[in-house]
Amino acid sequence: MSGQNIRLSVDAVVFGYDAGTISVLLIKRKYEPFKGKWAIPGGFVLQDESLEEAVERELKEETGIEIDYLEQLYTFGNPKRDPRSRVVSIAYFGLVHPSTFDIFAATDAEEVQWFKIDDLPQLSFDHDKILQFAITRLRAKITYEPIGFELLDEKFPFSDLENLYTTLLGRPVDRRNFRKKILSLDILDELDEKISKGSGRPANLFKFNQKRYNHLKKKGIVFEI
């Protein structure tokens, strides 16, 4: 027991969304093992920080990013997952708004990049497994928790939400029925603002009302698409 020599790390799969594609944030490894290969950002947990603090610190150190939504994903503990020594990794998954996504997508730092999830490079360690796990969770979770809003701007036209769901679910959604359903949940505030995207009729902007959602949830009313 006293001979336990297991190191503990955290890894974060961070998703961003723009114009019909989901991307994930990766870093290029500077050192062995897997030097030069892409990996999910992460690192070792420090003695006195919580796991969430470790994730946020590592993300800031390695990518400069600050996360809008973070949740624990799964803990990967296969004894052979790191070729050097025993490392157990607690994986998180995170979401960022387009404002964050855009900034970092623009700066093409060679060592930090967004990759579209259907055009991923080879990954280090068991990171492909972790990433697939995260994608599965994201796709599933948007159907029973209103986390999709974390991938949109604070104020968004309804079509953005619809496109996000079309993308994540991988199938078309009926515009009228989708709108009816979401609006019936009573978790969106319709704003007195319009946005015009090139040609076409300007769209009304909406805003997710987190407080109202929490309130409804407490009453046992569930989000479901």
Partner DNA sequence: TTATATTTGTGTGTATATTACACATATGAG
Partner DNA sequence: CTCATATGTGTAATATACACACAAATATAA
Whether the Cβ atoms of residue 17 and residue 101 lie closer than 8 Å to each other: yes
Range 4-63, binding a copy of itself (CB under 8 A): 4-8, 43-51
Instruction: Name the residue with tokens 């994608």.
Output: 135
Torsion angle, alpha carbons of 38, 135, 46, 1, to 10: -110
CB of 115 to DNA, least distance (A): 26
Instruction: Give me the 122-161 binding string for DNA, x by CB under 7 A, dash otherwise.
Output: -----------------------------------xxx--
| Span from 46-54, 132-140, 141-149, 177-185 in contact with DNA (CB under 7 A) | 177-185
Partner whose binding site includes residue 209, from a copy of itself, DNA, none (CB under 5 to 8 Å by kind): none
Task: Give DSSP secondary structure letters for 72-110.
Answer: EEEEE--TTSSSSS-EEEEEEEEE--HHHHHHHHHS--T
Residue of 98, 101, 211 lying closest to 153 (CA atoms): 98
Choose, by CB under 8 A, the member of 1, 118, 200, 211 that binds a copy of itself: 1
- Joined tokens for residue 2: 């006293």
Transcribe 105-146 into DSSP letters.
HHS--TTEEEEETTS---BSTTHHHHHHHHHHHHHHHTTTS-
Return the closest-CA partner of residue 90 out of 151, 4, 6. 6
- Least Å from the CB of residue 138 to DNA: 21
Active site residue 111: yes
Closer of 42 and 157 to a copy of itself (Cβ): 42
Quick one: DSSP state of residue 47?
Answer: T
Name which of a copy of itself, DNA, none residue 202 binds, using a CB cut-off of 5 to 8 Å depending on partner kind. DNA
Question: Of the listed pieces 58-66, 84-92, 181-189, 205-213, which binds a copy of itself according to CB under 8 A?
Answer: 84-92
- Residue span 124-163 as binding mask against a copy of itself, x where in contact by CB under 8 A, dash where not: ----------------------------------------
Residues carrying an active site annotation = 111
Contact residues toward DNA (CB under 7 A) are 157-159, 174-177, 179-181, 194, 196-204, 224
